[in-house]
Chains A and B, each alone.
Chain A
Amino acid sequence: DADVTQTPRNRITKTGKRIMLECSQTKGHDRMYWYRQDPGLGLRLIYYSFDVKDINKGEISDGYSVSRQAQAKFSLSLESAIPNQTALYFCATSGGTSGDNEQFFGPGTRLTVL
C-alpha cells in the first residue's frame, strides 16, 4: 500500500463550489505539506503543518484552507473554487529536521474548475 494517499485522484467541479482534497499517510511523519503544480511553474507551497496544532500558510495560501485532523491526515479545502485553481495538487510528508529527510509525495489530485 502507498505511504501517502490522496483522494480524490481526479475531480471536476464548477466555479463557486466548495471542495475538499484529502491526504493520509502511514509513515508516521509529523510534517505535512500541500503543494500546487501549474504548467511551467514547478510546485509551490500552499500550506504546511508541523503537527496537529501547528498550521502555517505557504506562499500561495489565498483561496485555500486546511485542517490537520490527526497526525496522519491533512486536508485542503477550496471554499469557493475558481477556474485559476485548476491544477495538480500534491500532498507531501517529511519526518524531521535533519536536512536529508526527503519529502515523500502522494500521487497527486488533478483538479479542474469549470
Chain B
Amino acid sequence: AQKITQTQPGMFVQEKEAVTLDCTYDTSDQSYGLFWYKQPSSGEMIFLIYQGSYDEQNATEGRYSLNFQKARKSANLVISASQLGDSAMYFCAMREYFGNEKLTFGTGTRLTIIP
C-alpha cells in the first residue's frame, strides 16, 4: 500500500527566506507521480507542482521546486523567497499510474510566514 509521510506538523519561517517542506513516500510501484498541493485558510486545494518517478530532473514551477531523491523516497518541496501569502497547509500526495489512480495524501504541514 502507498503511504505518504510528512513529519513537520507546523513550521514558522521569516518572510523572504527559503523553506523546505519534507515528504517521504512508500510504494512498491515503479511508476508513480508525486504532487504538492497548497490549502489556504479558505479551504480550496491548489495544485503547485508535479514530479514523475521517471523524471530525471527536479521539477520547478516559479518559486516552487521539488527536491526529488528517488533512492531515499523523498520529494521535498522548496519554496524560495517566501511571502506572507505562502502561509497555508501544504500536502504532499502520490498517485499510482495504474488502478484507481487515486491520490494518497500526507497529513500536511502548516506553514506560517512571519513578517
Contact = CB atoms under 8 A, between A and B. Distances in A.
Interface of A: 31, 33, 35, 40-45, 48, 56, 58, 88, 90, 92, 94, 97, 99-100, 102-105, 107-108, 110
Contacts of A35: 103
Nearest to B32: A99
A16 to B, nearest CB: 27
Interface string B36-54: 0100000111010010110
Given A42-B106, A99-B52, A102-B47, A94 B101 contact: yes
Interface in B33-83: 33, 35, 37, 43-45, 47, 50, 52-53
Interface of B: 4, 31-33, 35, 37, 43-45, 47, 50, 52-53, 91, 93, 95, 97-98, 100-103, 105-108
B102 A45 contact: yes
B43 A88 contact: yes
A42 B50 contact: no
A48 B35 contact: no
B105 A99 contact: no
Given A88-B43, A105-B45, A99 B95 contact: yes
A43 B101 CA distance: 14
A107 B102 contact: no
Contact of B31 (A41, A42, A88, A99): A99
Task: Across the A-B interface, give the 7 residue pairs with the lowest CB-CB distance, nearest first.
Answer: A42-B105, A105-B45, A99-B33, A43-B105, A45-B102, A102-B47, A42-B107
Contact of B47 (A31, A99, A104, A108): A104
B108 A42 contact: yes
The A contact surface, by secondary structure, is strand
Contacts of B100: 45, 48, 56, 58
B102 A42 contact: no
B35 to A, nearest CB: 6
A35 B50 CA distance: 20
Given A99-B97, A102-B47, A110-B43, A43 B103 contact: yes
Nearest to B51: A100
A107 B39 CA distance: 10
